[in-house]
Amino acid sequence: MSIKHWPEQERPREKLIQHGAGALSDAELLAIFLRTGTQGLSAVELARRLLTHFGGLRSLLSATKDEFCQGLGLGDAKYSQLQAVLEMSKRHLQEELMRADVFNSAEQVRIYLSSQLRHVPREVFAVLFLDSQHRLIRYQELFMGTIDAAAVYPREVVKAALQYNAAAVILAHNHPSGVAEPSQADIAITARIGDALKLVDVRMLDHFVVGDGDPVSLAERGLL
């Protein structure tokens, strides 16, 4: 049955308008993005099949163009639209952090870092460079690959902090496995970077590990 024949309170678009986007399931949100289904499938049914095919929203959003376009009813146009939506979301969050005191906006920082790093298929080490009011100056991905003492160089973090005239930084990296538990290597490199930044009077506020759930804060764990 076409969605237009559903009871109004069950239609994804009307449900979003009445209750907000947070009230919708992954399939309902995806259905609004898709707008239409395919022959014999409503947009919601198609969305459910796509989520099953990709193994969830995370894998769908991080799919390459070739992987994405293999899905039912998807092509270059839908892939381009999805990438545009994701990028607009990242830029909106970045603008918010440029106006806010990120030290008092921990939830916004978590959301922003998740949007940047959660769906990246390889490990990325990034830094939020902040001014003296703890507003975002720049987000920069500095290192890629396995995050350990051999792959991350404190001097490069210090060099970038001086380049942007940063007063403070927040470190972040992702675990593509989805498990955000900090490793001993994560803790060790955090300490090395913190020591290096102290020499140039730049404060390290936190280090977040991004996985499938909420990013884990080393500061909250007492690991800084």
Exposure of 38 in the CB half-sphere (CA atoms within 13 A): 11
Q: Which residues touch 43 (CB under 8 Å, ≥6 apart)?
A: 3, 12, 31, 32, 34, 35, 36, 37
pLDDT of residue 1: 47
pLDDT, position 3: 65
Q: 153 near 187, Cβ under 8 Å?
A: no
In angstroms, rounded to a whole number, what is the distance separating the alpha carbons of residues 72 and 79? 12
Give pLDDT, residue 103: 64
pLDDT of residue 75: 83
pLDDT, mean of each 10-residue run, the chain (224 residues): 60 83 84 79 84 83 83 80 81 74 76 85 91 91 67 91 96 88 91 96 95 89 89
pLDDT for 207: 95
User: What single DSSP character describes residue 82?
Assistant: H
pLDDT of residue 2: 57
Phi, psi of 87 (to 5 degrees): -70, -40
Listed by start position, the domains of the chain span: 3-74, 101-217
Instruction: Tell me which of 3.40.140.10, 3.40.50.12780, 1.10.10.10, 2.60.40.10 is the CATH number of domain 101-217.
Output: 3.40.140.10
pTM of the model: 0.71
